[in-house]
Amino acid sequence: MDILKTYFSLKVNAILILSMLLFFATKLSAKNIVGGPEDSVSTSLKPKSLIQNMNREQLSSLVDFLFEMDTIPRDLMNEINKAIATFNNEDNKNESKNTVTSIFPASDMYVSWEINNLFPEKDMLKLKGDTSVALLLNGGERGDYFHPFNGPMTSGFGWRDSAQHNGVDIDLNKGDKVCAAFDGMVRIAKRNGGFGNVVIVRHYNGLETVYAHLSKLKVKPGQVIIAGQVVGLGGSTGHSTGSHLHFEVRFKGVPINPKYLISFKQQRLLYDAITIKKTKWGLAAFPTGGAEHIVEKGDTVFELAKRYATTTVSIKEINGLTGRVRLKPGQIICIAQ
């Protein structure tokens, strides 16, 4: 039954996309943009040529139409991004200022854009071998990092109450403003099960951030936002025992410990660029080429090995450690991948 539902949904989406493209093809043909009256829309026009020949108004209408759908295929997102990039390049011929040239962030990394399924893709954990990807976190045309909320962390990432806790909890009061961590586009903004009112933002580097248990949503799906923009107000909706922000960082649907990227004490990024690597424990995130780690309370050699995608043996050898090791806060540990 589930297979039939999925098949039917895909067929409906395909029909909607085809109908939409034919609709725009008719408008373009009438304006002699792609051909004369004798041209046959069904035989001589292709989706690629239609999108590339749209003007700004038509392209904007197309995007608005697509945001009414549950899923937008990657090929269509890529074609729209190419057309938008062309317009932006024309605007910036005599300007040195960089601008964002894509509507759909990281469309080359994801199969589709979905507004119903919270985490539709988890392919990183299915891949075998030495799989890694480098991502830019800070600076450039995508803006700088902004801490979602200035509050103490009350619960960390990992095993908790017989279940995996895929993010961190930050204490706040109902009504406090929760802000986007990076520039990007809102993919999810709705009430959903245990998350309560939740916002998911996809960013231009491929990461997605999750903001859950909100009392009120301040954004909507498809909205382009900047780092520091309010996405919702703090609350205790969903499976929550008190007001707090549940904050997650994910790559292609797979959760990453936010502490691998962010210093919650100093409320800043640990690195401007990172490498994300698949391990048997999940996804590791670390600066490319090695690092020095300053030990915090609770750190162990095993946890550092998971975090930096290396081994306990390697860490011990590099740092001259033997036997059972107890790390001390403030101790500097050299890491190499």
What is the number of H-type helices and E-type strands within the chain? 7, 22
> Other CB atoms closer than 10 Å to residue 274's CB: what's the count?
23
Question: How far apart are alpha carbons 263 and 315 in whole angstroms?
Answer: 22
Question: How far apart are alpha carbons 39 and 44 in whole angstroms?
Answer: 7
Phi, psi of 208 (to 5 degrees): -125, 140
Q: What single DSSP character describes residue 289?
A: T
pLDDT (0 to 100) of residue 189: 95
Give the confidence band of 178 by pLDDT, cuts at 50, 70, 90. very high
As a whole number of Å, the end-to-end CA separation of the chain is 46
pLDDT (0 to 100) of residue 191: 94
Phi, psi of 44 (to 5 degrees): -110, -10
pLDDT (0 to 100) of residue 250: 94
The proportion of the chain whose per-residue pLDDT surpasses 90, expressed as a percent, equals 31
| pLDDT at residue 75 greater than cutoff 70 | yes
Query: Mean pLDDT in the chain?
Result: 79
pLDDT (0 to 100) of residue 116: 85
| pLDDT at residue 81 greater than cutoff 60 | yes
Long-range Cβ pairs for the range 41-49 (8 Å, 24+): 47/21, 47/76, 47/79, 48/79
Read off the pLDDT of residues 294-336 as tens digits, 9 standing for 90 and up.
Answer: 888 888 999 898 888 888 998 898 888 888 888 988 889 888 7
Q: Which of 90, 75, 92, 211 is nearest to 141 (CA)?
A: 92
Read off the pLDDT of residues 104-162 as tens digits, 9 standing for 90 and up.
Answer: 888 888 888 888 889 887 766 565 555 788 888 876 556 689 999 999 999 988 887 77
Q: Which residues pair with 335 in a beta bridge?
A: 291
Q: What domains can be seen in the chain, in order of their start residue?
A: 2-104 (no CATH), 140-288 (2.70.70.10)
CB contact at 8 A, 223 and 187:
no
Q: What single DSSP character describes residue 67?
A: T
Give the confidence band of 198 by pLDDT, cuts at 50, 70, 90. very high
CB contact at 8 A, 131 and 227:
no
Q: Which residues pair with 13 in a beta bridge?
A: none
Question: How far apart are alpha carbons 49 and 90 in whole angstroms?
Answer: 19
Question: How far apart are alpha carbons 254 and 326 in whole angstroms?
Answer: 30
Q: pTM of the prediction?
A: 0.76
CB contact at 8 A, 233 and 244:
no
Question: How far apart are alpha carbons 88 and 177 in whole angstroms?
Answer: 33
Q: Among the ranges 202-211, 265-274, 317-326, which has the highest mean pLDDT value? A: 202-211
| pLDDT at residue 19 greater than cutoff 70 | no
296-297-298-303 Cα dihedral, nearest 10 degrees:
10
Q: Which of 299, 186, 293, 295 is nearest to 232 (CA)?
A: 186
Label residues 292-321 b or e (16+ Cβ within 10 Å = b).
Answer: ebebeeebebeebbbbbbbebeebbeebee
Q: How many CA atoms lie within 13 A of 200 on its CB side?
A: 26
Phi, psi of 244 (to 5 degrees): -165, 165
| pLDDT at residue 31 greater than cutoff 50 | no
Q: Where do we find the tokens 């586009």?
A: 185
Q: Which of 169, 179, 168 is nearest to 201 (CA)?
A: 179
* Residue 123 Rama label (left phi>0; alpha psi -120 to 50; beta): alpha
